[in-house]
Structure 1
Amino acid sequence: MKSAKKKSFLLLCIVFFFWYAQYIYIPYQTPYLAAINLSTNVIGIVVSAYGLSQLFLRLPVGLLANVKEKHKIFIMLGAFFAGIASVIRIIEPNGTGFLIGNIISGFASAMWISFMVLFLGFYPKSKKGYATSLIIMVNNLGVFLAFLTSTLLYDYIHMVGICLLSCLSGLVAFILAIKLKYPEKIHHDFNYHLLFSALCNRKLLFFSFLALIQQGIQMSTTMSFTNQILSDLGGSASLIGISSMVYMLSSVLFAKLAASKWINLLSITGWVIFSFLLLALYCILVPQVSYIYIILLLQIIPGIGTGILFSFLNFEAMVDVPSYARSAAMGLFQAIYALGMTLFPIIVGVISLQWSMTMAYFSLAGIAIIAAILSIIYWIKFKSDIG
């Protein structure tokens, strides 16, 4: 175990700088776009562009990585695109620049498949759950420190300066990626019939669908329109940053919990159902609260969704996938949840424009409740199948 940690340390460093580059501008993206007079539905399209490119690229990247075993190249490309995306935002600091930048950032995140597969290759099968929680924790830590940086500096260096830091972090990740070493051989011979059968696994598809809901709610609330709600309530740039930091700090802490023995306080079933119900409560309360500091407190709830729920959905989706199909299955998993990241912000933008932001958030609450109900039904059926 100590050997695995030592060998995988460089990759964890790359993960940190990669996600730092990808998310440092996020707390201020929606308020910034609103300040330059973009409507909520246009903002929704700009935000969803990040998921759109992932939707189309993640499965092909997974298949290509599965066949060619070129994870290091994909990781280098991811770091490169993460930095270039913010170069575009600096050159064109308007709606068009952010739209193109988010598409390129989506290209970068599509390479996350190789980060995950390569990292899990350092650990034995018995430790895959621990390894999944560990890499997601470092992912969240990078995002948290990115949010902390933007909160402290945004009033002084503004959006252009924040995007410059994103470029520099992407460059650091790229340089570190050049030095990456592979673990034991993770590529296996396979035929396409076996691969197709593995990708049709019911468990993989079901938990990918639940991840679609979780990631869609996260992208359309915590990562975007919740910040706009805070801004409309008179929240300063610093408060918006603190809000995002509360969310990410709770994500880091709950991801750490998911990698510890304390997670056994509830079963996986219990955590998934409980987390979705909490997300529903979050979506009900946030648009109705008129006090900024209560919203700050509520930001802990989606942290549970990112730190615990997403870790479990990721692990459960992949646990029965044979090793020869792991890259392709990870690509399918990430492509499916990218659909939620693409559609949900657009839906929230349209509903809020036609009716209200409250109605948009209530719709998301209803979807989260449906996810909890589907989880209950799935596990009841699963128990009956094995009984």
Structure 2
Amino acid sequence: MVPSQRKNRYLFIVVSFLLWFPNFLYVPILSPYIDFLGGSYTFAGIILSSYGITQLLFRLPIGIFSDLVKKRKPFIVMGMLASALSCILFLMSEILWFMLLARALAGIAAATWVVFTVLFPTYYEEDKVHKAMSHITFIVVLGQLLGMSFSGIVVDEFGWKAPFILGVIFSIVGLFLSLFVHEQKGLVDKKPITFNELIFVVKDPLLLKTSFLSIVAHSMIFVTMFGFTSSYALEIGFQEKELTWIVIVFMIPHAFATLYMGSHIVPRLGEWNSLKLAFLTSSIFAIVIPLFQTKFAFLIIQGCFGFSLGLIFPLLLGMSIQNIEIEKRATAMGAYQALYAIGIFAGPFFAGILNSLLGLESGFYFVGILGIFALTFIFIWSRKQVMVVENNQFEEKVE
């Protein structure tokens, strides 16, 4: 790799990190903070789900428009700006409805991730898409890990507003650095994309299947680690400063799993069998979480759950665009990320209602059932895939 290309990649990695780090500084304390301000679990679920609603509404239009104008960088800058505004709004107001708006703005920032994930692979050779996706997913998880790790400590030492102050600072730095992101001219085909071609891309069978599975996977993680796990932990005896340990034991295995999947598990098991393993173990660990009331056992299960979920996301991300032409990948990625935003919205929304009616334990059982539901479809689709391959091999032998 030439030095300039390496420099461009490293700068992009830093900007990507600064998109996620500020917006996850407050995630572990957001549900308890809403409770502190007098909000119910139901309203907490609405605030948490607003993050997914705006992604659902904006991701596909951003992907389509990016493909139409043949540009990625302006949308990256827009995402960093939305991230900064979100943190500023959280900092300036304790009114729950303004917090809803702030979280929705964070969702708009996350919606621009569709463009990040399309531009980043251009810094790699064309046959290394899975490697690029593993690396960029690792950066996401690293930003989430570090942000969430500091959250409980910062709140315990400096109060509820401290994560938002830090979020504003890091978001502004990221916004400034995003102005220097390199986008290679002429990389995307300048031929205009027709509406029929866009529809064809969105209807790609593998894209739709991976999107459905990603809806379930994002529901699972946004109900638990990015949702109500911290509230449940406080309920069973954890202190605010101890939330950091929950984040660490979940996110470190989660981060390493994103790298381990592409380099070790998929080459050995294949894509569909790897998904079976990941969803099965994730479902089991989610269901058993409420069965353990001691801190040590709770942390062990959290680590296993984090690793299992970490296996899912980079694989689905790479599979979603592997059949799509490069000039149409922003549209495909926009569709994929817009669809999985349904899970970011629906998961916390319905879990919030369940938690209000039946207690926080019900949310974990809900997540386990979702995983088993997805696993059923994986078995069906993988079997069809095997039948197609066997049929093609038979036809080749006949010819």
Residue 261 of structure 1: how far off its partner (Å) = 4.3
Match of 1:202 in 2: 205
**What CA RMSD, in Å, does the superposition of the two structures yield over aligned residues?**
1.7
- Contact in 1 for aligned 2:265/2:274 (Cα 8 Å): no
1:179 aligns with 2:180: yes
| Aligned with 1:308 (options 303, 308, 311) | 311
Match of 2:327 in 1: 324
| C-alpha distance in structure 2 between counterparts of 1:360 and 1:157, whole Å | 31
- Contact in 2 for aligned 1:75/1:111 (Cα 8 Å): yes
Residue 313 of structure 1: how far off its partner (Å) = 0.6
Which range moved further: 184-193 or 64-73? Answer: 184-193
Aligned residues: 387
Output the TM-score relative to the length of structure 2. Answer: 0.93
The secondary structure found in structure 2 opposite 1:121 is helix
| C-alpha distance in structure 2 between counterparts of 1:230 and 1:28, whole Å | 11
Residue 192 of structure 1: how far off its partner (Å) = 2.2
Match of 2:363 in 1: 360
- Contact in 2 for aligned 1:15/1:115 (Cα 8 Å): yes
Partner amino acid, structure 1, of 2:107: G
Match of 2:255 in 1: 252
Match runs of 1:273-352 below 5 Å: 273-352=276-355
| C-alpha distance in structure 1 between counterparts of 2:278 and 2:350, whole Å | 22
1:215 aligns with 2:218: yes
The secondary structure found in structure 2 opposite 1:333 is helix
Q: After superposition, what is the alpha-carbon deviation per residue over 1:46-79, rounded to whole angstroms, capped at 9, x for unaligned? A: 1101111111000000000011123111111111
| C-alpha distance in structure 1 between counterparts of 2:263 and 2:386, whole Å | 26
| C-alpha distance in structure 2 between counterparts of 1:238 and 1:138, whole Å | 25
| C-alpha distance in structure 2 between counterparts of 1:94 and 1:248, whole Å | 30
| C-alpha distance in structure 1 between counterparts of 2:7 and 2:64, whole Å | 29
Aligned pair in 2 of structure 1 residues 378, 262: CA closer, same or farther (>3 Å)?
closer
| C-alpha distance in structure 2 between counterparts of 1:134 and 1:178, whole Å | 22
Residue 148 of structure 1: how far off its partner (Å) = 2.5
Identity %, equivalent residues: 22
Structure 1 runs of 4+ with >6 Å offset: none
- Contact in 1 for aligned 2:37/2:94 (Cα 8 Å): no
Match of 2:239 in 1: 236
- Contact in 2 for aligned 1:122/1:183 (Cα 8 Å): no
| C-alpha distance in structure 2 between counterparts of 1:149 and 1:185, whole Å | 41
Match of 1:369 in 2: 372
Partner amino acid, structure 1, of 2:166: L
- Contact in 1 for aligned 2:286/2:305 (Cα 8 Å): no
Aligned pair in 2 of structure 1 residues 217, 318: CA closer, same or farther (>3 Å)?
same
Give the gaps of 5 or more residues in structure 2.
Answer: 391-399
Which range moved further: 304-313 or 68-77? Answer: 304-313
- Contact in 2 for aligned 1:252/1:307 (Cα 8 Å): yes
Match of 1:112 in 2: 113
| C-alpha distance in structure 1 between counterparts of 2:263 and 2:58, whole Å | 33
The secondary structure found in structure 2 opposite 1:260 is helix
Which protein has the larger Cα radius of gyration, Structure 1 or Structure 2? 2
Residue 301 of structure 1: how far off its partner (Å) = 3.2
Q: After superposition, what is the alpha-carbon deviation per residue over 1:325-347, rounded to whole angstroms, capped at 9, x for unaligned? A: 10011000000000010011111
Give the gaps of 5 or more residues in structure 1.
Answer: none
- Contact in 2 for aligned 1:141/1:252 (Cα 8 Å): yes
